[in-house]
Amino acid sequence: MAGIHIRNIEDYNEAYALSINNPEKFWEDIASEFQWKKPWTKTLEWNFIEPKIKWFEGGVLNITENCLDRHLESAADKLALIWEPNEIEGSTLKYTYSGLHKEVCRMANVLKELGVKKGDRICIYMPMVPELTFALLACARIGAIHCVIFAGFSADSIAGRINDCGCSVVITSESMSRGNKKIALKTIIDEAIDQCQTVEKVLVFADTKSTVQLKKNRDYLYIDLASNASDVCPAEPMDAEDPLFILYTSGSTGKPKGVVHTCGGYMVYAGYTFANVFQYKHPEIFWCTADIGWVTGHTYSLYGPLLNGATTLIFEGIPTYPAPDRFWKIIEKHKVNIFYTAPTAIRSLMCEGTEIIEPYDLSSLKVLGSVGEPINEEAWHWYNENIGNSDCPLTDTWWQTETGGIMIASIAGITPSVPAHAGLPLPGIQPVLLDADGKELEGNDVEGYLAIKFPWPGILRTTWGDHERCRLNYFDTFKGYYFSGDGAKRTAEGLYRIIGRVDDVINVSGHRFGTAEIENAINESAHIIESAVVGYPHDIKGQGIYAFVIASSKDSDPELLKKEAEEMVMKYIGKIARLDKIQVVSGLPKTRSGKIMRRILRKIAEGEINNLGDTSTLLDPGVVDLIIKGVV
């Protein structure tokens, strides 16, 4: 359904060759399998200097027609969505394509009644419930730009994002159940909105009316508005290059930036990658464990599967509740065929031993996927043997918020899958490895900076409200290329192996944080004068967060300082950015120009104190000894 079907290695080679020799033809073939209200007139216009990237210009479409309406004729009764609740005794909810279509239209009408128009930015802060999927699709239905914020970010983080993109409406839930915790989301939203000027309306989902605090003329209960809303809503015609969504992600500098994806290109790329990488076949059940608050959830819990008429499963809870067998229980219960999760989840479940897997029948599984961070060999083998019974192709998928969809990965069962290697690029993707001078490294068995030299439809178009920031972040380091921020190796066989970030971004349990972002939060403490944050290898999370902090007064109690640093991170970022280690220090290793030498701090955090490299350029080399000895 989503263009080019790669079914064997010959197909892959042929598709890859076409995508290099005639990229426009390659993408036209794929795009033409989607439903367009008006065909495009120009397939591609681009340069990576400004940058300016336009795909399928002149084309008019609505992604929800491609996700929903298109399937109604032949598959109205097919399951589109399965929802598994947090509580084990709770009822699963199931929506057919026709049922989901109605819910989305109903919610789209509610949004219209609240005054939402094409181009408005709508903040969505919700748990993993079916209504979350309705909310994204309802925005897309009427041309509003959704901006989902993962429900683990704090009020301050939310306010920063709402203010950056000027959201007029917030969609939220009264509370969220995650494991044995209940979190009052509406209260967090109220606190956030106190710092925002643009929010006019708040749409609230609640289990029981009586408990929600509603602000007059601002807050509305969904059930009150939905009871009179029609379940028919025409799809807004959207230009291919109109924004579909904004998703904030952390970079090495400043505040998180709003990555912008567009209707046409994102649709084509999400549909194409889903169909091919996972080799989805009807009526398989696909489960991506990522929260819709992250790009993986956008593309592979929602848009990719629905664009292909697939059945997607979403889960409200966490892998360890009520017991660490929950994932395996769900796979057995719903006979999941394709399972896509993160290495951090695999590593934490590995620690529980294989006895807890044994009672479950996982024989429905056909394909396994991994995403978000490098998967180490031990976790790869454990996943392959214990979950896949050494019988399921395992695809390690490398991509980013900015790429919209998977870029380098094994096409399940077709292109090579080697432990800890993402493998070959998908047809349409032209990766290169660059040296520090931006020269392409030719041949195999080389290591360098991972960049992409030609656009693909899913590439970000800009960062919201600040195009220059987009240029500087991704297109300036190496002129003429999109730079990923990752380092990689190309093996003797030509397979890519991702090494990790080469910038000041750390990847904790598959979530990105800028070290500067965490430092800024810590420095808000009145008792901390300066801090430096680095990542270090962590057995479960991939990377942990190590903070070095300097007290503003010699007499500060180190324990209180640590507590305060933690509280600041919780307040300004949220629960997801927990500090793993905090060390109070008397000084930081700095160059004469005042730049912190993180390389040295990283080595200390890794425990490699005998291998610190050259410290002679430091303003005060003695400070390193004090840090190692733990002297404050």
Which of 99, 251, 374, 393 touches ligand PRX by CB under 6 A? 374
Other beta carbons within 10 Å of 631: 12
Closest-by-Cβ residue to ligand PRX is 401
| Residue nearer to ligand PRX on the CB measure, 59 or 293 | 293
Binding segment for ligand PRX (CB under 6 A), chosen from 136-144, 237-245, 370-378, 546-554, is 370-378
Which amino acid would we find at residue 242? D
Q: Could you tell me which stretch among 272-280, 356-364, 398-406, 592-600 binds ligand PRX (CB under 6 A)? A: 398-406
CA-to-CA distance for 396 and 182, rounded, in angstroms?
33
Q: How far is the CB of 486 from ligand PRX (least distance, A)?
A: 5
Q: Is residue 96 near ligand PRX by the rule CB under 6 A?
A: no
Query: Binding to ligand PRX by residue 486, rule CB under 6 A?
Result: yes
Give yes or no for residue 274 binding ligand PRX (CB under 6 A).
Answer: no
* Cα 565 → chain centroid: 26
Pick 290 or 561: Cβ nearer ligand PRX: 290
Closest approach of Cβ 373 to ligand PRX, in Å? 5
Q: Which of 86, 341, 400, 531 binds ligand PRX (CB under 6 A)?
A: 400
Question: Is residue 508 close enough to count as binding ligand PRX by CB under 6 A?
Answer: no
Cα 79 to chain center, whole Å?
A: 25
**Among 296, 337, 384, 463, interactor with ligand PRX by CB under 6 A:** 296
Binder of ligand PRX out of 110, 226, 371, 528 (CB under 6 A): 371
The CB-of-461 to ligand PRX minimum distance in angstroms stands at: 16
- Asked if residue 501 binds ligand PRX (CB under 6 A), the reply is yes
Tokens 């077709």 correspond to 414
Contact pick of 170, 295, 528, 565 for ligand PRX (by CB under 6 A): 295
How many whole angstroms separate alpha carbon 38 and alpha carbon 148?
29
- Candidates 265, 305, 309, 372; binder of ligand PRX (CB under 6 A) is 372
Q: 380-401 burial, b for 16+ CB within 10 Å, e for fewer?
A: bebbbebbbeeebbbbbbbbbb
Binding of ligand PRX at residue 397 (CB under 6 A)? yes
- Closest separation in Å from C-beta 68 to ligand PRX: 25
What is the per-residue binding string for ligand PRX in 224-253, x denoting contact by CB under 6 A? -------------------------x----
Burial-class residue 619 by CB neighbours within 10 Å (0-12, 13-18, 19+): middle
Helix (H, G, I), strand (E, B), or coil: what is residue 211? helix
Q: Is 109 exposed, middle or buried (0-12, 13-18, 19+ CB in 10 A)?
A: buried
The two tokens of residue 208 are 């029981």
- How far apart CA 46 and CA 40 sit, in angstroms, is 16
Minimal distance, residue 185 CB to ligand PRX, in Å:
22
**Applying CB under 6 A, does 399 fall inside the site for ligand PRX?**
yes
Pair 447, 463: CB distance under 8 Å: no
Closest separation between CB of residue 135 and ligand PRX, Å? 21
Cα gap 331→625, rounded to integer Å: 52
Q: Does 404 bind ligand PRX (CB under 6 A)?
A: no
Contacts with ligand PRX: how many residues (CB under 6 A)? 23
> What radius of gyration do the chain's Cα atoms show?
24
Tokens (6 digits) for 222: 């969904």
Q: Does 398 bind ligand PRX (CB under 6 A)?
A: yes
Other C-beta atoms lying within 10 Å of the C-beta of residue 8:
11
- 23-31 and 9-21 helices, crossing angle to 10°: 120
Alpha helix positions (H), 478-557: 515-522
Q: How far is the CB of 526 from ligand PRX (least distance, A)?
A: 32
The least distance separating ligand PRX from the CB of residue 420, rounded to whole angstroms, comes to 9
- Residues sharing a CB contact under 8 Å with residue 389, sequence separation 6 or more, in sequence order: 362, 363, 365
Position 284 contacts ligand PRX (CB under 6 A): no
| Min dist. Cβ of residue 222 to ligand PRX (A) | 30
Residue range at the interface with ligand PRX (CB under 6 A); choices 217-225, 393-401, 565-573, 618-626: 393-401
Is 484 among the residues that bind ligand PRX (CB under 6 A)? yes
Cβ nearer to ligand PRX, comparing 488 with 565:
488
- Whether the CA torsion 599, 604, 608, 612 is positive or negative: it is positive
288 is written with which tokens? 């991506």
| Three-state DSSP state, 349 | helix
Q: Which is nearer to ligand PRX, 177 or 410 (CB)?
A: 410
Under rule CB under 6 A, residue 325 binds ligand PRX:
no
Dihedral sign for Cα atoms in the order 16, 19, 25, 28: positive
φ/ψ region of 367 (left if φ > 0, alpha if ψ in -120 to 50, else beta) reads: beta
Find the binder of ligand PRX among 396, 503, 517, 519 (CB under 6 A): 396
| H or E element at residue 261 | strand 257-262
| 507 part of the interface to ligand PRX, by CB under 6 A | yes
Name the segment binding ligand PRX (CB under 6 A); options: 77-85, 159-167, 189-197, 391-399: 391-399
Nearer to ligand PRX, 134 or 478 (CB): 478
Dihedral of CA 510/515/518/522: which sign?
Answer: positive
Q: Does 485 bind ligand PRX (CB under 6 A)?
A: yes
Dist. CA 620–CA 628, nearest whole Å? 14
Residues that bind ligand PRX (CB under 6 A): 249, 295-296, 371-374, 396-401, 422, 484-486, 498, 500-501, 507, 510, 512
